[in-house]
Amino acid sequence: MSEPEEPIDYGALEDLFADHMKWASLAVNIGEISKQNKALVRDLSGYDSTIAVPLLASLLTVPEYQSNCIRLEILVTLAVVHCRGRKKASIGQAVRWFHQIGKSNCV
């Protein structure tokens, strides 16, 4: 005997699709991306923008990373907006941020 299936909650399904469609459009702004990525923004805020921004932007010039362009562009923008600290970013932080933003709906 098979288990009876739970009824589908079409309202919840519509809400899920609407949320995913919002992120798939160009209507999302950097404020909404920042709100969804609070831990990343908090981390970025401790870093010096004069080092973090060029570090992240330089990754846009690497042909092997072209398929990740949107992820890198969002990271650069978040760094421009939120980096206000004194810590010096290195490639290790860039890798960590790259993975963090990859878990976001914005990419």
3 belongs to a structural domain: no
Q: How high is the pLDDT of residue 7?
A: 82
Task: Pick the more confident residue, 13 or 52.
Answer: 52
20 belongs to a structural domain: yes
Task: Count the domains in the chain.
Answer: 1
Residue 27 confidence (pLDDT) above 80: no
Q: How high is the pLDDT of residue 23?
A: 67
> Using one digit for the tens of pLDDT, what is the confidence trace for 6-25?
888 878 878 777 776 766 76
Q: Which long-range contacts (CB under 8 A, 24 or more apart) does 69-78 make?
A: 70/107, 71/98, 71/101, 71/102, 71/107, 72/98, 74/33, 74/101, 74/106, 74/107, 75/101, 77/30, 77/33, 78/30, 78/33, 78/34, 78/37, 78/40, 78/41, 78/44
Can you give the residue range of the structural domain that contains 81? 10-102
2 belongs to a structural domain: no
15 belongs to a structural domain: yes
107 belongs to a structural domain: no
